[in-house]
């Protein structure tokens, strides 16, 4: 398994920082979906600067913030304190989550899980399943094999699905795992997959328009007994 490597938030430029401080579009859908249930234990896995922790915290969820980067946790804490919000904070590697079995109703994991290799991803999914309550849900994104990064043949291929990103910047030498639809079905076979779709994001960089493809996946942890009944 490749060694985990988080983001270096200290070198993120201020215009990019603005992006990382606004909640993503789908977070409002999930906020709506999850708010109507009386279950509040929320894990922001790979919280970054805390944009989703703040959104869910302001809306009455009990938020746990987790990231491998101390800087990310410090920045999230500073922001939450300014907003008068109290969260739980932990620094660590998602390969081994420091939480008890079935602790969370909802896990938000946007642009995080792909920072590993195939063996690592499988281990992370085991950990997600362990810390999710029965009937809990997890939203996560995965880089798509259609994206340009996977096609960079000069970037080291660590296994059939993983490349090291060699672009200068906060993700330099970070492993990136890329999926396709069949691989997603295989990886999440023990869950009910509520939604899986691929999106293209367009962004401008140094005057050029770039694009990247991601899968957005929403999974539901089914009861073992119900899993059996479904067969």
Ligand X SMILES: C[S@@+](CC[C@H](N)C(=O)[O-])C[C@H]1O[C@@H](n2cnc3c(N)ncnc32)[C@H](O)[C@@H]1O
Contact residues for ligand X, defined by CB under 6 A: 4, 6-7, 20, 46-48, 51, 67-69, 72, 93-94, 110-112, 115
E strand or H helix that includes residue 75:
helix 70-82
Evaluate whether 60 touches 32 at the Cβ level (below 8 Å): no
| Euclidean distance between CA atoms 123 and 59, whole angstroms | 31
CB of 93 to ligand X, least distance (A): 4
What are the structure tokens assigned to 90, written together? Answer: 């932990």
What are the structure tokens assigned to 157, written together? Answer: 């291929």
- Nearest 10 degrees: CA dihedral of 54, 59, 60, 66? -30
Q: Is 15 exposed, middle or buried (0-12, 13-18, 19+ CB in 10 A)?
A: exposed
What are the structure tokens assigned to 102, written together? Answer: 């079935």
For the chain, helix, strand, coil in percent to 5 are 30, 30, 35
Residue with token string 């997890």: 138
CB of 48 to ligand X, least distance (A): 3
């Amino acid at each position: 398994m490749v060694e985990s490597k988080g983001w270096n938030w200290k070198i993120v430029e201020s215009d990019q920082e603005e992006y990382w401080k606004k909640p993503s579009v789908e977070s409002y859908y999930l906020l709506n979906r999850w708010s109507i249930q009386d279950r509040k234990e929320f894990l922001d896995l790979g919280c970054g600067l805390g944009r989703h922790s703040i959104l869910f915290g302001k809306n009455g969820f009990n938020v746990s913030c987790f990231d491998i980067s101390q800087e990310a946790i410090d920045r999230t804490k500073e922001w939450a304190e300014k907003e008068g919000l109290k969260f739980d904070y932990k620094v660590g590697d998602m390969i081994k989550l420091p939480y008890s079995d079935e602790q969370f109703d909802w896990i938000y994991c946007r642009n995080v899980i792909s920072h590993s290799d195939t063996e690592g991803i499988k281990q992370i999914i085991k950990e997600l399943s362990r810390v999710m309550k029965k009937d809990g849900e997890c939203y996560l994104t995965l880089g798509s094999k259609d994206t340009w990064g996977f096609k960079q043949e000069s970037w080291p291929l660590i296994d059939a699905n993983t490349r090291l990103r060699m672009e200068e910047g906060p993700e330099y030498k970070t492993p990136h795992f890329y999926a396709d639809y069949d691989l997603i079905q295989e990886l999440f076979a023990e869950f009910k997959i509520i939604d899986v779709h691929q999106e293209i994001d367009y962004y401008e960089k140094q005057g050029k328009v770039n694009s990247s493809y991601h899968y957005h996946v929403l999974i539901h942890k089914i009861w073992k007994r119900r899993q059996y009944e479904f067969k």
